[in-house]
């Protein structure tokens, strides 16, 4: 009989844990296929990528993000500057109505996981909270996978 309370407790904890979805539809906002590229112990920072789609009439403005996987999360834009790849932090990323902002390795916007708590290994999953102006927070589950796999999955994963 002593096992029953602990079993019930375990079930209660399971139920209390929010189930994080990989693809999120929240009102007219859709977050698709969040993934992060693997980061070995020698790499201090990681990068996460996802697609943000807005189907309604008002833009979605990403103003921040956070995750237990790193000390902080910054919105970055990467571009070529006189032949050199440069990353710069941006305070907000606006997604216009009726459009999709795609993030992919190799350039453009990404979410920088500043000071990783642990290496990111292929197959790992971790929660990420996106903060949108006016719309509040959206929680997603990020999958760690190689850039090629992630991009392919992102492209092919959501064809209607
Ligand atoms: Cu960056």
Average pLDDT over all residues of the chain: 86
pTM: 0.81
Centroid of ligand 1 to alpha carbon of 4 (angstroms): 49
The full length of the chain comes to 160
CATH fold of 20-156: Immunoglobulin-like (2.60.40)
Centroid of ligand 1 to alpha carbon of 91 (angstroms): 13
Query: What's the Cα-to-Cα distance from 58 to each of 26, 42, 138, 157, rounded to whole Å?
Result: 14, 42, 17, 26
Structure confidence at residue 23 (pLDDT): 84
Mean pLDDT of 149-158: 54
Centroid of ligand 1 to alpha carbon of 22 (angstroms): 22
Least confident interval from 35-39, 80-84, 97-101: 80-84
**Percent of the chain scoring above 70 in pLDDT:** 80
Residue-wise pLDDT tens digits, 99-134: 999 999 988 999 999 999 999 999 999 999 999 999
Neighbours of 63 (CB within 10 A): 16
How far apart are alpha carbons 21 and 126 in whole angstroms? 11
Query: What's the Cα-to-Cα distance from 107 to each of 79, 102, 128, rounded to whole Å?
Result: 6, 11, 21
Q: Is residue 55 a contact partner of residue 30, using CB atoms and an 8 Å limit?
A: yes
60/25: higher pLDDT: 60
Centroid of ligand 1 to alpha carbon of 47 (angstroms): 7
Centroid of ligand 1 to alpha carbon of 70 (angstroms): 13
Q: Longest Cα pair distance anywhere in the chain, in angstroms?
A: 72
pLDDT band at 57 (very low <50, low <70, confident <90, very high): very high
Structure confidence at residue 71 (pLDDT): 98
Q: So where are the chain's domains?
A: 20-156
């Amino acid at each position: 009989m002593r096992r029953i309370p602990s079993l019930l407790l375990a079930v209660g904890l399971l139920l209390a844990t929010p189930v994080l979805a990989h693809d999120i539809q929240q009102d007219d906002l859709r977050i698709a296929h969040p993934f992060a590229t693997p980061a070995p112990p020698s790499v201090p920072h990681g990068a996460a990528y996802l697609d943000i789609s807005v189907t309604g009439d008002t833009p979605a403005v990403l103003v921040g993000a956070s995750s237990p996987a790193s000390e902080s999360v910054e919105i970055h834009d990467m571009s070529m500057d006189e032949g050199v790849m440069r990353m710069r932090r941006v305070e907000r990323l606006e997604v216009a109505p009726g459009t999709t902002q795609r993030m992919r390795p190799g350039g453009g916007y990404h979410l920088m996981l500043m000071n990783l708590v642990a290496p990111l290994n292929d197959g790992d999953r971790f929660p990420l909270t996106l903060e949108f102006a006016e719309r509040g927070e959206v929680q997603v589950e990020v999958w760690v996978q190689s850039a090629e796999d992630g991009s392919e999955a992102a492209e092919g994963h959501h064809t209607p």
